[in-house]
Structure 1
C-alpha cells in the first residue's frame, strides 16, 4: 500500500475522533449492514472506533472465540477485512463515505494504472462488489487520493518521486479550504438510509 498521510488528515479533519466511524474502499455484500471495506488500501478508524475494536472485540474472548459469533476471529483462515467489518457492524460503528465532493474514490484497491485503464466487466468480482459507482479513467480517483494497493517496492519509490519530488516549473500549488466539520447525527442518518435504500448511495 502507498499511503499519503496528508490527504488522510485532510479528509479526517471533517470528523470528530469521538464519532463511531471508519473509512476505506467500500464493497457491497448482503452479510454486512452497510457493506465492508477492502483491506488492501487500508482503513482509517476514529479513536472511538479503535477503542470499540480493542476493548469489545479483540479482548472479549467470549465474543471472538465463540464459533457461532458474528465476529469469530480466532483462527488465521478468516478473511480479515470482511470480518473486521462484521465485528464493527455488531457494535453499530458506521462505515463512512470516503469519496471526495465529486464522488471520486480516495481509497483505491488497485495500483493507479489498473484504475485509469480498467474496463467494465460485469463478471469481474470488483464490479460485482462495488458499493459506489464511479467512472474509470482519470475520473476514477480523487485529486486527494489517500491510498493505492498493490504497490511494489520499486513502485513505492516511483510514487514517492512523482508525488513529493517532481514539480513542474511555474505551477503554483493550489490548496482547498479545510472541510467543514460534519454533524455526525446527519452523517449517521444518511448512512442508515444507505442501509435500507439500495438506490441511495453516499452523502
Structure 2
C-alpha cells in the first residue's frame, strides 16, 4: 500500500509539472541509466569478446600441437638447426654505400652464426685484405679471403658459406640441409655446373652461393700453396675455386632434395619459375635443366641477382606474410 501511494503521488506531481522540469527529470534519468546500466552491458560484451578470442587462441594452439604430434619432425629439425650446425658467412663488398650489403645484414645475415664482410667499408667493419679490386681480380680476392678465414676462424663454425651481396640465403633451410651432412668430410655444396670444359669440368655457381665443410677449408689452408694449384688465379672466381678444390680432393656434393628438386639457384626465383634464364645456363645444366615452381624444393636455400629491395621483399614474404588459418606441417625432403 505504501508503494502504491508513493507511485500515485509521483504521477500526480508529473501531471502538474512544467515541460522544462520534465526535460530536466528526463536528462537526470538518462544520465543515471548511462552510469549504472551501460557499464554492466559493456562488461558482458567484453567478456563475450574475450571468450571468443580465447577460443580462437585455444583452437590455434590445438591445431599447432596436433601438427607437431602428427609429423614428429619439429623437435628434430630444431635440434639440428640450433645445436648441430654452425655456419660462418662471408661476403665480399665494394667500396662504400653498399645498399645491398646493408639489406643483407638486416635480413638473412643476422641468422648466420658469424658474419664477415671483406672489403673497404667502416660501416660493416669490413676486413681489408689489401687486394686488388675489379672483376678480373675476384678469384684472387676469394682465395685471400679463404686464407684469412682458415687462419683465424677455422674452429668457429662447421660450415663456411660464401655469398654475394645480391644473394638471398634462407638460413633455416641451409642448416636443415647441412644437418644431415658431415663437416669433417672434404666436400662443398652449391648449384652444380658442368660446362664440359677440359679444365673447369665441375664447380658450383658463385652467385648461388657455395658452402665449404671445415675439412675442405682446412685442406685449402694447408695444401693449396704447397700444391701450387691456387697460386695466382686469373679466371672466373667460381670456376677457379672449383678447380682448386678438385685438385685438393674436395668433392662436390649433391644439393637436390629427395624428390630431385633444386635448392641452390643462380638466378631470381621468378626467372627459375618461368624458365626465363640465359642460354649458357641451360647448356651448363644439360639434361638437369628444369623450369617451373614444381622443380624447386619446398625448402630452397638461395636465389641470386637481387636488388636491395628484392632482399627486403624476400624477408617479408618468408617471415611475415601468412595466410590466416593455414597451418602446414613439416615435410622431410633430405635424402635419408
Common topology (TM > 0.5):
yes
- The answer to whether 1:166 aligns with 2:321 is yes
Contact 1:38 1:81 in 2 (8 A): yes
**Match of 1:99?**
256
Report the TM-score, using the length of structure 2 for normalisation.
0.47
1:74 maps to which of 198, 218, 232: 232
Judging changes above 3 Å, is the alpha-carbon distance between structure 1 residues 120 and 48 closer, same or farther for their aligned structure 2 residues? closer
State the Cα deviation string for residues 106-142 of structure 1 (Å, max 9, x = none). 0100001110111588xx1111111661431112311
Find the aligned partners of 1:151 and 1:119 in 2 and give their Cα distance: 15
State the Cα deviation string for residues 43-64 of structure 1 (Å, max 9, x = none). 011111111122222xx2x544
1:136 maps to which of 291, 295, 299: 291
1:52 maps to which of 189, 207, 219: 219
**Match of 1:16?**
182
Higher Rg: 2
**Match of 1:184?**
none
Taking only aligned residues, the RMSD between alpha carbons, in angstroms, comes to: 2.2
Report the TM-score, using the length of structure 1 for normalisation.
0.75
**Match of 1:186?**
none
Contact 1:115 1:140 in 2 (8 A): no
**Match of 2:191?**
25
Contact 2:257 2:263 in 1 (8 A): yes
Find the aligned partners of 1:52 and 1:135 in 2 and give their Cα distance: 34
**Match of 1:89?**
246
SS of structure 2 residue aligned to 1:22: strand
- The answer to whether 1:111 aligns with 2:268 is yes
Judging changes above 3 Å, is the alpha-carbon distance between structure 1 residues 115 and 23 closer, same or farther for their aligned structure 2 residues? same
1:42 maps to which of 205, 209, 213: 209
SS of structure 1 residue aligned to 2:188: strand
Contact 1:23 1:98 in 2 (8 A): yes
Gaps of 5+ in 1: 65-70, 182-203
Judging changes above 3 Å, is the alpha-carbon distance between structure 1 residues 119 and 37 closer, same or farther for their aligned structure 2 residues? same
Find the aligned partners of 2:214 and 2:277 in 1 and give their Cα distance: 37
Find the aligned partners of 2:211 and 2:287 in 1 and give their Cα distance: 18
- The answer to whether 1:145 aligns with 2:289 is no
* TM superposition outliers: structure 1 runs of 4+ over 6 Å: none
Higher relative contact order (CA 8 A, sep 6+): 1
Find the aligned partners of 2:273 and 2:249 in 1 and give their Cα distance: 35
SS of structure 2 residue aligned to 1:130: helix
Find the aligned partners of 1:125 and 1:164 in 2 and give their Cα distance: 33
Find the aligned partners of 1:34 and 1:95 in 2 and give their Cα distance: 11
Gaps of 5+ in 2: 1-166
- What is the aligned length? 169
Aligned-residue offset at 1:180: 6.6
SS of structure 2 residue aligned to 1:107: coil
